[in-house]
Amino acid sequence: MTQKIYLNGKLVPREEARISVFDHGLLYGDGVFEGIRAYDGRVFRLSQHLDRLYDSARAIALKIPMSKKEMEQAVIQTLRSNGLKSGYVRLVVTRGEGDLGLDPNNCGKPVVFIIADKIELYPEELYKKGLELVTVATKRNIPEAIDPRIKSLNYLNNILAKIEAGLQNMSEAVMLNKDGYVAECTGDNIFIVEENVLITPPFYVGVLAGITRQAVMELAREKLDLVVKEKVFTRFSLYNADECFLTGTAAEVIPVVKIDGRKIAEGKPGKVTARLIKEFRDLTKREGTKI
């Protein structure tokens, strides 16, 4: 089957899905996006993803030329046209074609495109054995400059951290904020468990408002009866945590067993993490917008 891409209201073959070299999304990273998952015929928390997309667009004064309902139908249509009941959706809105100047007022109509495909960020083996992380020198953007809650097309901050991790043969990195507090990883939110309390950094240190992050916090309270706190912490807390894991749309919930060469507790996935992996996977089977 030829892959179909949604582009400005039409489904076109992959090789015909083209945008202008003058598009400000390409020239300046001027746009917003969402990564969305579909599981067994249901799109997981589609409305929350669309809320975040439109909030991000509003924050950069980008008017999306479609209603949320129209966008929802476009996502479903793209999945259907590619015969996907389970998969990954990349939804992108750019400022549109402009000139070589920065002024967004010189851009025409925003461009909307949607890609639906399969994805496997990490092999299943790592969900059983756990990830090893390294802290990198690249600091997370400060919210006063570029608020990380804006899911923009400019991911250079994250990419630089990813490059640093790769140079140390690591697949993922811990990013600190300017004050030395743990913020997040290059593409995922981070959690630790301390004495049956689940802790994750608050937004103001520079983290994305993750959809999976929110789902896991809800599950921890409702299914595991855990206390959940959003508070700042340093690498000292990472090294001395009982458990650590990451969350993200592509990664879902994945354990971390070593950071900067230090084992987390016994160096294997913990019971809380294992339970949350199961609860989250169960949640994706029963919650979502039907394709």
Distance CA 24, CA 155 (A): 15
Which position has the token pair 């809380």?
Answer: 272
Per-residue pLDDT, averaged over 54-72, amounts to: 98
**pLDDT at residue 120 in the model:** 83
Q: In the CATH hierarchy, which top-level class contains the domain 4-117?
A: alpha beta
As a whole-number percent, the residues of the chain with pLDDT over 90 amount to 98
Q: Hey, which residues are catalytic here?
A: 151
pLDDT exceeds cutoff 90 at 121: no
Both tokens of 135, joined, read 């802290």
Instruction: Considering the chain, tell me which residue range(s) the CATH 3.30.470.10 domain(s) occupy.
Output: 4-117
pLDDT in tens, 149-190: 999 999 999 999 999 999 999 999 999 999 999 999 999 999
**pLDDT at residue 1 in the model:** 80
Distances (CA, A) of 175 to 79, 130, 179, 203, 278: 34, 19, 11, 14, 27
The number of beta carbons lying within 10 Å of the beta carbon of residue 165 is 22
Instruction: Considering the chain, tell me which residue range(s) the CATH 3.20.10.10 domain(s) occupy.
Output: 124-285
Please state the pTM of the whole predicted model.
0.95
CATH topology of domain 124-285: D-amino Acid Aminotransferase; Chain A, domain 2 (3.20.10)
